Amino acid sequence: MEKYHTLGDREKATRIRDKKLEKEQERVRVKYHKKQTAAGKRHLVGSLKVIQKRGTSFCCDCGAEKKIKRFYAYYDDVGELTKLFPDCKKCNRRKHRSGRFALIRLQRKNCLEHYGHAKEGKLKCASCKNRDFDGLVLFNPRYKNERAIATERTYKKLSNYRYPEIEYKVLCGRCAYKRINSRRK
């Protein structure tokens, strides 16, 4: 058993021992996190108080250790961390975009197939027979300006309303703009 000359010496020794223990726990935690990330398991590393004290956390997607400001986080009135998203903002945006664009592309494909009266892979422009999927658009002949060309919002509404019977034509972008410009004159 160690002998201490004063109470201050004892407190100092206790602080040093606690810091060593914290460093060892941190080393083990980082090693465990890397092992879990390599295995493909997602988890939040450490309690929220420890993460807030440390000021950093690991992104469960890219595996990098980043500051808390790089994550979406919620704080209570006192300033305590109440919720921390497991992915950093950059990875979260990338996932959100890729999922959103996939959904928009699917809605667009379904709308074009329905209003083009074509089976999958047989889509083509009604006037020039162009088969390029990325160049095809829905065209509403009732309008005389750019509103005649369907947007993301139009595709979403049509798919939500289960493709109502509206007079739409599937045209390539070039043919659609030709029709719009010919109506303006």
Give me the pLDDT at residue 168, please: 92
What's the pLDDT tens digit per position in 151-182? 999 999 999 898 888 889 999 999 999 999 88
- Report the phi/psi class of residue 164: left, alpha or beta, with left for phi > 0 and alpha for psi in -120 to 50: beta
- Average pLDDT on 27-53 reads 67
Look at residue 1 and give its three-state secondary structure: coil
Contact between 173 and 181 (Cβ < 8 Å): no
Listing DSSP states for 46-81 in one string gives: S-HHHHHHH-EEE-TTT--EEEGGGEEEEE-TTS-E
Residue the block writes with tokens 């006192």: 78
Residue the block writes with tokens 């009135």: 77
Contact between 82 and 74 (Cβ < 8 Å): yes
According to DSSP, the residues that pair with 146 across neighbouring strands are none
Residue 42 to residue 62: CA distance in whole angstroms: 11
According to DSSP, the residues that pair with 139 across neighbouring strands are 149, 169
Domain range list for the chain: 1-41, 116-184
* Range of weakest confidence among 39-43, 72-76, 94-98, 113-117: 39-43
